[in-house]
A and B are shown apart, each in its own frame.
Chain A
Amino acid sequence: MNLYAYLIAFLLIIPLQATLLAPLSRIGLVPDLGLAIISIIGLLAGPIEGAIAGIALGLYQDISSASLLGLSGLTRGIIGLFAGFLGQRVLDVRGPSTPVLFALFSVLDSLLTTLYLEMTYGSFPILRQLFSRMLPRAFVTALAGYWLLQFVMRRNVLGLIRRRELQKEF
């Protein structure tokens, strides 16, 4: 795992999401770039790396959005782990079904969060949120995630990071 590459990506992704993509909230279609990045790391680098990346980015997001500390860390860690297992054992990440997986990860992340909030605070209309927030968000996250995945694979970003690490080790 290249810590510096991840650190820079994580430090930039939340401010980018909160500033440049914020105008999209007017039409209710803001992709979750953080989740897309975690899913990509999981799919390409494996479950452990995906889980740790998810926990780290989730915690950063929790602190920067004044949320319950650890909630996004937990849900995104689970998503990273889940994506890692799929990428390692089941999935051909180049396949056309990948956008569906990104959408699935996004819905799962929102569902886990809303279920927890419903259990603790109550009165969270899950079904309403599924249609008004989760599905539109999943749709645009799937598009953004698929585009990012294509970019990463075409440029072989992960391979470059790994090669530098190997060069250092030798």
Chain B
Amino acid sequence: MEYFIQQLVNGITLGSIYGLIAIGYTMVYGIIGMINFAHGDIFMIGAFVALISFIIFGLTGVALPIILLLVLIIAMLFTACYGWTVEKLAYKPLRGSFRLAPLISALGMSIVLQNYVQVAQGARVKPMQPLISGGLEFFKNSEFVVTVSYLQIFIVILTIILMGIFTYLITKTDLGRAQRACEQDRTMTALLGINVDRTISITFIIGSSLASVAGMMFVLYYGVIDFYIGFLAGIKAFTAAVLGGIGSLPGAMLGGLLIGLIETFWAGYVSLEYKDVAAFSVLIVVLIFFPTGFLGKPDIEKV
């Protein structure tokens, strides 16, 4: 039982990270109908920017909460630039091209970003000392002590705050309305005087910023990153987006949580080596049996 609760806590933390990445996939898919294959690598770049800023601020000796806030803002800003540029360079010229063209272009972009970081930052893994240590302990009298670290609490609370802000943005503001309109009908939205190009750019910026927050959490949580983390994390987050119903924002978060839980429980109870197989199998099973996911709208193909 205690072991189960510990896995649950770990799963929720991991799920928050996946959920934040999954939002980027689901938003882009909703608005331009393509799988942004390079999104995982945007997350990786966010993790690197966060790592670099942690090292720089670590030298200044500022208080920890201020460092966290500064790193968060910096990572979001710089990573958003990457998202914006990738969209402008690789996807915008391909709107209206045949369906697989943007996917292949995204694949190329993903290879470019990975190898660019490998060249610029070196291929070796980058370790970082834990910044937030300690935690709360439960069930102290039993055999297995459940530990909820402050870091896990921080990750989950930050995710909840960001989700709150984000939901407000999408449901209540003009920007969100414009985005939802673009999802439904881009031509009609343009006729109504909304700058569609700008709305799509902003979608990429928001998606990348959230991915960079996930990247920062990843650095803090695992303490080790390399240029290759984006690939697996990206695939899992995409699975999460599909599981929750691609195009649906609450779905992305729910899917992220589920994937995080499945992965931790699989690693905890079944087999550690095959934990990535679990994520991929879930992806295949979900796509075959519920292609629309849990909260997605059915997709009707028209002639």
Q: Are A and B genuine complex partners?
A: no
| Chain A residues packing against B (C-beta within 8 Å) | none
| Chain B residues packing against A (C-beta within 8 Å) | none
